[in-house]
Structure 1
Amino acid sequence: PEGVFLRVNGEMCRLLGYTEQELVGMTVAQLTFEGDLEKSRVDVARLMRGDITTMSKQKLYRHKSGRAVPCNLQVRSVLDEVGMPKFMVSSVQDLSDAKFAEQKLIQASKMSSLGEMAGSIAHEINSPMAVIQLSAEQLEDPEMVEFFDKEDVAMIAKRITDTVERISKIIRGLKNFSRNAEHDAMETVSLASVIDDSLELCREKFKNRNIEIRMADLPEVDVLCRPTELCQVLLNLLSNAFDAIDERKDGERWVEISGTYRFSRILLNVTDSGPGIPKAVSDRMHEPFFTTKPLGKGTGLGLSISKGIVENHGGHITLDSACKNTRFVMDLPATISTPALASAPEVKLASGS
């Protein structure tokens, strides 16, 4: 029932770091990481019962050294005379180079986004720095201090500490966003916190161009994710919305984040006041390096990478062609902690300014 290796070729041995003598007799479970173990056992059991005769998926194998080896796995059952599986033949393709290249592209896309946000982030930090400087000057001025009581000093001190925390939050967000999150463990976090972290990095950029951000009052929806990666997806959608609105010379200027929770999934909408995306563009928008932006303003990787990230989280991202504006919908598995809401068939997240 565990799936024992009966025969392996030299390439499989090289890929996983074992000799043929070591690998023959080992089970699939021994080469599978803990987080994938249950799913792997279910897949093997289905093949051995004859429920399915073929299977294709991406899988992380455990190398002899303990490191992960990303592979594309294809399995075919060989049946006996009564149609039951005798054994399985597997073909394993090493995806290490492809995954490495993919991560390089993801990092390049992140750095491009940070470059575009650099000016507004600098302003976002400089503004509170001015508050700290002014507060410190008040405390240093002997003529002003003479009229301060304890409550005044405490109020100024609190203003300084609150402002420092605001700057620290921005810097933490930049640090988390810029690093490689490939090996981060999946964790259950509040979706609202992911949205808040994303907005912290781009809010000033929207404010400087008089683009309103309309934020829904989200219920306590939790998602199992790598927060840095979901933040990257949201920032990409918000950045695309910003560029589309900023190019317009007239009309409304807003971006709205809203959503619907139902059937253990969250449909998160990012809508902007633009008129929508032409079909000729929408048909190609998930292609790597495809962009309609001027040279030097976009890598053409954002939506392609976002699509891959969301799919790796068990979801998908689509363009809502029925919306009169431009709306992207991110569909993700989610849980809601409030029992009353969890039992309801649908909870609409109303938008508001």
Structure 2
Amino acid sequence: MAARYILSQPVALAVDVAIDEGLDVDALARGLELDHRAIQRTAYMRVPWESFVIFLERMEEALGGELVPAMTRRFVEKNPFSNFARVGGLFCSPQLLYRMANYVFGPMMFPVARFDVEELGSIGFRVMLTLPPDVRDCPVFFRICGEFLRHSPALIGMKPARAHHIFGVRQATFQIDYPPSLSLLARLRRFTDAALASRAFMEELQAQGERLRESYDALQESEETFRTMVERSPDGVMVLHEDAIIFANDALARMLALRGGPELVGERIETLGAPGYDVSGLLREAQEHGEAVALRLRVPEDDTAAAVPVEARALRARFLGRDALIATMRDVREREASMARAIDTDRLVTMGTLAAGVAHEVNTPLGYAQANLEFIDELLEDTPDLRELDAEAQADVLASLRDARKGLERAIEIASDLKEIGREGDVRGEVLDPRQSVEGALRWARAEVLQVARLHMALEACGEVIASRRRLSQVVLNLLINAAHAMSSDRRHQNLVEITTFASDEHACIEVCDNGPGMTPETLERVFEPFYTTKEPGRGTGLGLFVSREIVEEFGGTLHLESEPGRGTRATIRLPQRQAVTSKTATTSAS
């Protein structure tokens, strides 16, 4: 696997040039993983390639495109590789110098790059320098390399070589023609210098070897730690290469009722998605946006088992030398079950809170029906035979029967609403007009609201949505109850609760507004926390808004509150209209 770092010696050379040119090195290194002070003290630190590239690009901009000449001057005049040059000049041989550069020092200092060297006999060599596709390109790096290769013989007292180069994307090819060798006398003098320098050079090589060994040991330890953490993680972890699973931990296998992670290796990721879930597309979305996505996984060996709901995150990385997508899967079955219990608890509490008002709502039409039936009963006591009644009396009987029937139908409607909001069971989305849920909630909450405020409704057409009618009614009901509980009956004629529906930007909107006391910013920040409530004991559990937001987001919508002290509260539900949801689904499937 190509390393993403380089040794610090070439970075130190760039830092020295920046200092020579009077640049602000701190500014050049800002935001990078590059401690330029520590780098100047040692040649064996590891520096991320990305940081090195950005540092060079900033220097190039600061020097107005003159970075390469400045680097070359420093390379030739200051000779930062003196020990290397002395040993390379042991026989005053440019071949030896370049061999050491291309086969030892270049690959060692730049492990991120690949060196393909072709010897051209005694006249020179050709080297192709290539960067892997998963790292940042750096054209100025190639230009610097070309100048360094051309001037390298100057380090051992020779003339520069002749150099030809071709630059491409992430790649450069250099052909170097060796300069003439020195005289015999010059060679003897160089031999003496090299012998004197050999001890220091060997010590430098030994130190470098120790550093590399330490780096290798640290890398091995890091890989072992990573594998241990992944294997013991309670979350499922999978690694994908081109949508094929190349690694999976045992936690993911257990999640899918398998014995171990190796059973998943080689599977295509699309085979794990439950119907309607593009797992590959959702993971790419999670990786691009850096956010968790919700999806469901199919249990491979059991078509009758329920799909497993998970919360997934993903990131790009290198794994076993390949570009990979690493995904973590958190099983949220228990969380979904807890949320379902919280929703049921909130619904039952709301039903208990409204019991008196519902009793009143039922008693009113029943009393109306009873009064009409009593009138008919009294009339028939005096005249048992309807045929003996005059036309006006017969019309009164028929009108009373119709009124009694209307009252009973109203009571049946309220009982049906009571049954609908109180029942448990399937809560999957259905196509509905949000006004149906609003009207159902209003029948329940009307009596509670009218005790403390006037009620105004403006239910305009807002399009169809995909949601649960029962759960959407529960959300609207919670908002109406909160508005009613926020106000005092002492100001009943001044208090106002408004509920409106309208369409906006491919969304169906429901707004519940009140002119009550409003909320402070501190309260507004916490209202969606579970069990947080400002109501007096016995009037709420603190689950209402928390549950309401979860329900709305489950169907792709949002619940937003606006409030100021003394200026009331506005709650807005936004749900995507059915055609917008259908269009998005079609686009996702096509991609």
* TM tier relative to shorter chain: 0.7 to 0.9
**Matches of 2:285 and 2:480, distance apart in 1:** 42
Given candidates 419, 444, 447, the residue that maps to 1:204 is 447
SS in 2 for 1:36: coil
Shift in Å at residue 316 of structure 1?
Answer: 1.7
2:272 corresponds to 1:28:
no
- Paired position in structure 2 for 1:103: 340
Given candidates 556, 581, 584, the residue that maps to 1:314 is 556
What are the ranges of 5 or more consecutive residues in structure 1 without an aligned counterpart?
337-353
**Matches of 1:41 and 1:271, distance apart in 2:** 42
Distance change >3 Å, CA 288–CA 42, structure 1 → 2 = same
SS in 1 for 2:465: strand
Given candidates 389, 403, 407, the residue that maps to 1:163 is 407
Distance change >3 Å, CA 219–CA 295, structure 1 → 2 = same
SS in 2 for 1:52: helix
Shift in Å at residue 262 of structure 1?
Answer: 2.1
**Matches of 1:36 and 1:168, distance apart in 2:** 41
Superposed CA RMSD: 3.1
Higher relative contact order (CA 8 A, sep 6+): 1
Contact persistence 1:276–1:327 (CA under 8 A):
no
Contact persistence 1:78–1:86 (CA under 8 A):
yes
Shift in Å at residue 154 of structure 1?
Answer: 4.2
What are the ranges of 5 or more consecutive residues in structure 2 without an aligned counterpart?
1-240, 580-591
**Matches of 1:34 and 1:154, distance apart in 2:** 57
- Give deviations 1:11-34, integer Å, cap 9, x for gaps: 222212234576444443333333
Pairing of 1:135-174 with structure 2 (within 5 A): 135-141=372-378, 142=380, 143=382, 145=386, 146-147=388-389, 151-174=395-418
Shift in Å at residue 251 of structure 1?
Answer: 6.4
AA partner of residue 17 (structure 1): A
Given candidates 236, 256, 276, the residue that maps to 2:478 is 236
Shift in Å at residue 73 of structure 1?
Answer: 1.4
Shift in Å at residue 6 of structure 1?
Answer: 3.7
Percent identity between the two aligned chains:
26
AA partner of residue 317 (structure 2): V
- Give deviations 1:31-79, integer Å, cap 9, x for gaps: 3333334xx35335669xxx83966322222333431322221223334
Contact persistence 1:245–1:253 (CA under 8 A):
yes
Shift in Å at residue 318 of structure 1?
Answer: 1.9
SS in 2 for 1:155: helix
**Matches of 1:288 and 1:80, distance apart in 2:** 41
**Matches of 2:264 and 2:465, distance apart in 1:** 38
Distance change >3 Å, CA 222–CA 87, structure 1 → 2 = same
**Matches of 1:34 and 1:224, distance apart in 2:** 18
**Matches of 1:52 and 1:268, distance apart in 2:** 32
AA partner of residue 443 (structure 2): E
- Paired position in structure 2 for 1:342: none
Given candidates 509, 528, 538, the residue that maps to 1:296 is 538
Distance change >3 Å, CA 101–CA 53, structure 1 → 2 = closer
User: Counting helix residues as a fraction of each chain, which structure ranks higher?
Assistant: 2
**Matches of 1:140 and 1:251, distance apart in 2:** 40
Distance change >3 Å, CA 326–CA 234, structure 1 → 2 = same
**Matches of 2:399 and 2:487, distance apart in 1:** 40
Shift in Å at residue 216 of structure 1?
Answer: 0.6
Distance change >3 Å, CA 30–CA 167, structure 1 → 2 = farther
- Paired position in structure 2 for 1:327: 570
Shift in Å at residue 286 of structure 1?
Answer: 1.3
**Matches of 2:358 and 2:438, distance apart in 1:** 17
Distance change >3 Å, CA 94–CA 43, structure 1 → 2 = closer
Query: Could you state the TM-score of these two structures normalised by the residue count of structure 1?
Result: 0.81
Contact persistence 1:5–1:24 (CA under 8 A):
yes
Contact persistence 1:53–1:76 (CA under 8 A):
no
| Number of aligned positions between the proteins | 328
Contact persistence 1:4–1:26 (CA under 8 A):
yes
2:257 corresponds to 1:17:
yes
Given candidates 245, 251, 257, the residue that maps to 1:5 is 245
- Paired position in structure 2 for 1:89: 326
